[in-house]
Amino acid sequence: MIVVTGSSRGLGLAICERLHSLGVDVFGLSRDVSNATFPSMSCDVSSYEDVKKVVLTLKKEDKKVSGLVNAAGIASMNLAVTTPPTVSQKIIETNLLGTIFCCQLIAPLMMRNKCGSIMNFSTIAVSLGLKGESVYAASKAGVEGFTRSFAREMADFNINVNCIAPGPIDTSLLKGITTNQINKIVSQQIIPKQFSPDAICDLVELLLDARSNSLSGQVLHVGGA
């Protein structure tokens, strides 16, 4: 089973739908699962207790977890000096702590089987140091650092941990960003084109495949950065 966070929208939803369509056993986690078309459970990833409940459920149902995709994330495009403290806190809690909590609690389910693949999500905003995204970039830089160290901790258990860092993908996360702004970011990628969620789904499939088991602790930039 592959556990995917942020499964109600954006990249998380696209990944769930792709894997589900391929017949992969998917389990989506999201605060709102009312419209889910695949097995899901309500979970706020920034709540340690919520994630723990998910783990207890998976253990009770004797599910064999072989993958975790930490796609849950929020963004708020704003200058750091005009970002309210509650917003900064929410971004760090969801993006960074949410990723850490899910890794801490769900990885042991994979460690029992000595195999698995974990994918965390960063952003091109980290490598480009994008203006107006400092708090968001800070949360994702934390995810990259966590990924590299956690990958070493998991290597003994034959679990690969990598980070996918997309450029601007057409999802609800881009709401409020103008076409000009998107084009400017895209032009700074090595491959200067805007990719669709399909490119991310392809990469997730690749990282779930045993043929990628030489990759761990890597930040994979979609579009190149």
Partner 1 sequence: MTDIRHAVFQKILDGIEDKTIQVTDNTPLIGDGSVLDSMKLVELCLTLEDFAEEKGFEFDWTSDQAMSRSRSMFRTAGSLASEFTNQMDAEK
Binding region for partner 1 (CB under 8 A): 48, 56, 104-105, 108, 111-112, 153, 156-157
**111 or 206: CB nearest partner 1:** 111
Alpha carbons 224 and 140: distance in angstroms, whole number: 17
Sign of torsion over alpha carbons 107, 111, 113, 119: positive
Bridge partners of 163, per DSSP, are 120, 219
Q: Give CA–CA dist 143/213, Å, rounded.
A: 21
- Cβ proximity to partner 1, 32 vs 153, nearer residue: 153
Q: Are 223 and 195 in contact (CB under 8 A)?
A: yes
CB of 161 vs partner 1, minimal distance in Å: 15
Tell the smallest beta-carbon distance from residue 60 to partner 1 (Å): 10
At 45, is the secondary structure helix, strand, or coil?
Answer: coil
By C-beta, is 34 or 156 nearer to partner 1? 156
CA distance 29 to 41: 5
45 versus 169: smaller Cβ distance to partner 1 = 45
- Nearest distance, CB of residue 125 and partner 1, angstroms: 31
Listed as own residue / partner, the contacts of 39-46 with beta carbons closer than 8 Å and 24 or more positions apart are 40/7, 43/5, 45/5, 45/6, 45/70, 45/72, 45/94, 45/98, 45/99, 45/101, 45/102, 46/90, 46/93, 46/94, 46/97, 46/98, 46/101
Which CB atom, from 141 or from 154, has the smaller least distance to partner 1?
154
Rounded to a whole number of angstroms, the minimum distance from the CB of residue 153 to partner 1 is 8
Q: Which residue number, 111 or 220, has a Cβ lying nearer to partner 1?
A: 111
Residue 48 has φ and ψ, to the nearest 5°, of: -55, -40
| Closest approach of partner 1 to the CB of residue 207, in Å | 23
To the nearest whole angstrom, how small is the minimum distance from the Cβ of residue 112 to partner 1? Answer: 6
